[in-house]
Amino acid sequence: MDYQRFEELVFKTIEALPAEFKNKLENVDVLIEDWPRPAQLRGLRLRHPSELLGLYEGIPHTNRGGNYSFVLPDKITIFQKSIEATCHSEREIEKEIGEVVRHEIAHHFGIGDATLRKIESQKRKRK
């Protein structure tokens, strides 16, 4: 998939967020890179670049106090080649982008991996 189409899908996912979340996306940049950097993988104790589909780096809303001001933006990075390596069709890529973007935005709002796994598990049970 070319970069422009991938980027379009990422920002389409963000635009489709409920207003209560989209309106609170403050001081956050969303970037698209091909692969995670070695330092990013080491920091998460991952061995292969395709293991990391997205990454949130910043201060979650739940950890921001009264002194939170004049700070660099949080960063959400979506890894295009990592996502493409795990998918077999454009439809799967689009679905995966949606899941990864929402997952990383959840981290921005202070929702941890354990809670996200629980939510995903409950979602699968309902299907």
Could you read off the pLDDT of 17-47 as tens digits, one per residue? 988 888 888 889 999 999 999 999 999 999 9
Question: In this predicted structure, what is the pLDDT of residue 15?
Answer: 93
Is pLDDT at 119 greater than 80 in this prediction?
no
Q: Are 123 and 73 contacting, i.e. CB atoms less than 8 angstroms apart?
A: no
Which single residue is written with the structure tokens 């996306």? Answer: 25
Listed range (25-39, 51-65, 106-120) with the worst mean pLDDT? 106-120
Position 3 confidence tier, pLDDT thresholds 50, 70, 90: very high
What domains, with CATH codes, occur in the chain? 3-126 (3.30.2010.20)
Helix (H) or strand (E) holding 32: strand 28-33
Which single residue is written with the structure tokens 């330092």? Answer: 39
Q: Are 101 and 7 contacting, i.e. CB atoms less than 8 angstroms apart?
A: no
In eight-state DSSP terms, residue 49 is: G
The gap between the terminal CA atoms of the chain, to the nearest Å, is 29
Is pLDDT at 97 greater than 70 in this prediction?
yes
Listed range (33-42, 52-61, 78-87, 107-116) with the worst mean pLDDT? 107-116
* pTM summary value: 0.88
Pairing state of beta strands 74-79 and 54-57?
A: antiparallel
By percentage, how much of the chain surpasses pLDDT 90? 63
Q: Calculate the average pLDDT of the chain.
A: 90
Q: What are phi and psi of 79, to 5 degrees?
A: -100, 105
